[in-house]
Amino acid sequence: MTVGELNAFVRFVLGGLSTAVLDDATLNQIIQSVLDSGLATTDCQEKYYSVKQTLIYLDTKSAAGNAGTGASGAVSKIVEKVGQRSITKEFDTGTAGTASSWSSVLDDFLSDPQSYLLCNPFPSGTTDNSGSVIIGGVSQKQYDKVATNSDSRNGWSMGSICDRRKYRGWP
The percent of the chain in helix, strand and coil, each rounded to the nearest 5, is 45, 10, 50
Question: Which of 36-40, 42-46, 77-81, 107-111 shows the lowest per-residue confidence on average (mean pLDDT)?
Answer: 77-81
The residues facing 87 across adjacent strands are 80
Distance of CA 164 to the CA centre of its chain: 42
Model confidence at 2: pLDDT above 70: yes
Give the mean pLDDT of 127-151: 67
| Burial (Cβ within 10 Å: 0-12, 13-18, ≥19) of residue 30 | buried
What's the confidence (pLDDT) of residue 1? 87
What is the spatial distance between Cα 107 and Cα 100, in angstroms, rounded to a whole number? Answer: 11
Q: Which of 136, 155, 138 is nearest to 146 (CA)?
A: 138
What's the confidence (pLDDT) of residue 126? 46
3 state DSSP class of 122: coil
Mean per-residue pLDDT of the chain: 76
Q: pLDDT tens, 88-110?
A: 666 655 554 455 688 888 888 88
What's the confidence (pLDDT) of residue 143? 75
Give the mean pLDDT of 16-22: 90
- Maximum Cα–Cα distance across the chain: 100
Read off the pLDDT band of 170 (50, 70, 90).
Answer: low
User: Domain locations in the chain?
Assistant: 3-123, 125-171
Give the predicted TM-score (pTM) of the model: 0.56
What's the confidence (pLDDT) of residue 100? 61
